Amino acid sequence: MDLRLKGRIALITGGSRGIGKATALLLAGEGVRLAIAARGADTLAATAAEIMAIGGEVLTIQADFRSPAESARAVAETVAAYGGLDILIANAGGSFGERELATSSDADWEETFRFNVGHAVAALREATAALTRSDIGNAVFVASISGRAPAARGAQYAAAKAGLIHAARSLAWELGPHGIRVNAVSPGSTIFPGGGWEKTRAERPEDFAKFEVLGKAGARQSCRDISSCGTVTSRHPASTSGAAC
């Protein structure tokens, strides 16, 4: 695969595990200069070691994206270290609190929206100047199939991911005149070490079995298979913006 991105600079939030890690490895193989940001120092170091083992260049940034200010800091540190930014992949996200309406709190909803929508928007706001200077300015919001086809329980997560998809579409129109593409990708359920589905499989095997029988869980989809946020950054579909795939 040649995404025509050699020497370009990319920041991936939530880049140490799962889809973020798979995307980082994909882009490293394409010669992209990487910054990966996440909460865990150990997983950041382990992923950085894998990237360097295949000849990649990587900067690690420890950040907690439950605070949008951390998004801005991660972007600023990337630009300071590399002198610019071509690609932003806002991959960090998740859900907080109780999954059912009756037991969920206002704080559960607010934190879930802040972590998913707030972190991505804050990162793109901070990155806009650098992406405008780039000749391929590109932002990808990693949403979820839940934002397109929600299931029962976990409404705050589904609503936040739907909001992220619509934010990408709206911002594509707003930032297009500045030469910045904005797209969203909506992966299905994916199993990876330390992820939510692995926890479900261990703690609620009966719930996991329902998804496995229906083929909904990503046991048949590795993170690498669905790291579509990496290919969306390619220079080949250079006119693609506002998509939610």
Q: What is the CATH number of the domain that holds 197?
A: 3.40.50.720
Q: Checking DSSP bridges between strand 9-13 and strand 57-62, what pairing results, if any?
A: unpaired
Say if 71 falls within a structural domain.
yes
Q: Can you tell me the mean pLDDT for 175-203?
A: 76
Listing DSSP states for 175-194 in one string gives: HGGGT-EEEEE-------TT
Q: Note down the domain range covering 140.
A: 9-231
Q: What is the pTM of this model?
A: 0.85
- What Å distances lie between residue 240 and 3, 32, 122, 126, CA to CA? 14, 20, 22, 22
Q: Is the pLDDT of residue 72 over 70?
A: yes
Q: Which residues pair with 59 in a beta bridge?
A: 35
Q: Any bridge partners for residue 90, and if so which?
A: 13, 141
CA 37 to chain centre: 11
Determine, yes or no, domain membership for 240: no
Over its C-alpha atoms, the chain yields an Rg (Å, rounded) of: 17
User: Mean pLDDT over residues 44-49, rounded?
Assistant: 98
The Cβ of residue 135 has, within 10 Å, a number of other Cβ atoms equal to 8
Supply the mean pLDDT for the chain: 86
Mean pLDDT of 65-75: 96
Distance, CA of 200 to CA of 85 (rounded, Å): 37
Quick one: pLDDT at residue 167?
97
More confident residue, 122 or 228: 122
> pLDDT grade, residue 220 (50/70/90)?
very low
pLDDT at 144: 85
pLDDT the model gives residue 98: 87
Residues 88, 193: Cα–Cα separation, whole Å: 24
Residue 243 lies in a domain: no
- Reading the block at residue 179, the tokens are 């030469």
| Catalytic center residues | 157
Question: Comparing 15-29, 154-168, 185-199, 210-224, which segment has the lowest mean pLDDT?
Answer: 210-224
**β-bridge partners, 87:** 10, 138
Q: What angle do CA 37, 39, 45 make, to 5 degrees?
A: 65
Main-chain phi, psi angles of 36, to 5 degrees: -115, 135
Is residue 2 included in any domain, yes or no? no
179 lies in a domain? yes
Which of 34-38, 98-102, 103-107 is modeled with the greatest confidence?
34-38
1-15, 40-54, 182-196, 209-223: the lowest-pLDDT one: 209-223
Q: What share of the chain is helix, strand, coil (3-state, %, to 5)?
A: 50, 15, 40
Interval 97-104 mean pLDDT: 89
Number of domains the chain is built from: 1
pLDDT band at 213 (very low <50, low <70, confident <90, very high): very low
